[in-house]
Amino acid sequence: MNILIMGPAGSGKGTAAKKIVEEFLVAHISTGDMLRENVKENTELGQQAKDYMEAGRLVPDDLINAMVKERLLRDDVKEGFLMDGFPRTLVQAKAFDEITKSIEKPVEIVINLKVDVDTLAGRITGRRICKNCGAIYHIKNAPSKVEGICDVCGNPTIQRPDDTLEQLQVRLSEHAKNTEPVLDYYREKGLVKDIEAAKSADEVWLDIKQAIDTVK
């Protein structure tokens, strides 16, 4: 299966992505995670992307497209992929068409997670992630056993520098400006499945699984 998952920051995309990957055994390709890895390793790409990311703005298309193109050449994509956080602009969507054509893996479904702004704000400002292993917590909805410490690896959990209300506003307006046209692009191709995602993670998962099973 070749799947795209879309939804603004706080829509539960990360949690849903993890489940999709486990269930459908596809390669999880998160451009946000790849970029954060590059920033952490201080690569040339990381240095170029860092300021955009900290400001909640989109990293330029050519950098992202090159990164995704290279990633899709790896062996683990054989059984399919879950693209998470990409494409975020029409330029990226069109470049992605070319890439998927060249590897003969067309997008089969676009999962669109829909959540109202107030729910997003609560989710974003309470989100904490493990600096070391990337595990995700929420101070109210899914706290770690010991406050500020990751259950999985025992390292400190932190708030991502872009997980503030101010950055949420920037990211939501970026999302509306750039990503809505991407959704329309895939809607015209008849690939989009809208999922009401302000519900519990378990309920959302059932809807997602059903949507993917129907196109499988």
Q: Which residues carry out catalysis? A: 13, 88, 127, 160, 171
CA distance linking residue 151 with residue 135, whole number of Å: 8
Q: Is 86 in the site for ligand AMP (CB under 6 A)?
A: yes
Closest CB to ligand AMP: residue number: 32
Q: Quick one: how many helices (H) and strands (E) in the chain?
A: 9, 8
Q: Is 31 in the site for ligand AMP (CB under 6 A)?
A: yes
Q: Which is nearer to ligand AMP, 31 or 112 (CB)?
A: 31
**Closest separation between CB of residue 3 and ligand AMP, Å?**
16
**Closest separation between CB of residue 56 and ligand AMP, Å?**
5
CA distance linking residue 133 with residue 150, whole number of Å: 9
**Closest separation between CB of residue 31 and ligand AMP, Å?**
3
Rounded (5°) CA angle 118-210-76: 95
Count Cβ neighbours within 10 Å for each residue of 111-144 and write b for 16 or more, e otherwise.
bbbebeeeebeebbebbbbbeeeebbbbeeeeeb
Q: Is 186 in the site for ligand AMP (CB under 6 A)?
A: no
CA distance linking residue 149 with residue 154, whole number of Å: 6
**Closest separation between CB of residue 106 and ligand AMP, Å?**
19
CA distance linking residue 191 with residue 108, whole number of Å: 7
Q: Which is nearer to ligand AMP, 12 or 32 (CB)?
A: 32
Residues that bind ligand AMP (CB under 6 A): 9, 31-32, 35, 52-53, 56-59, 64, 85-86, 88, 92, 162, 171
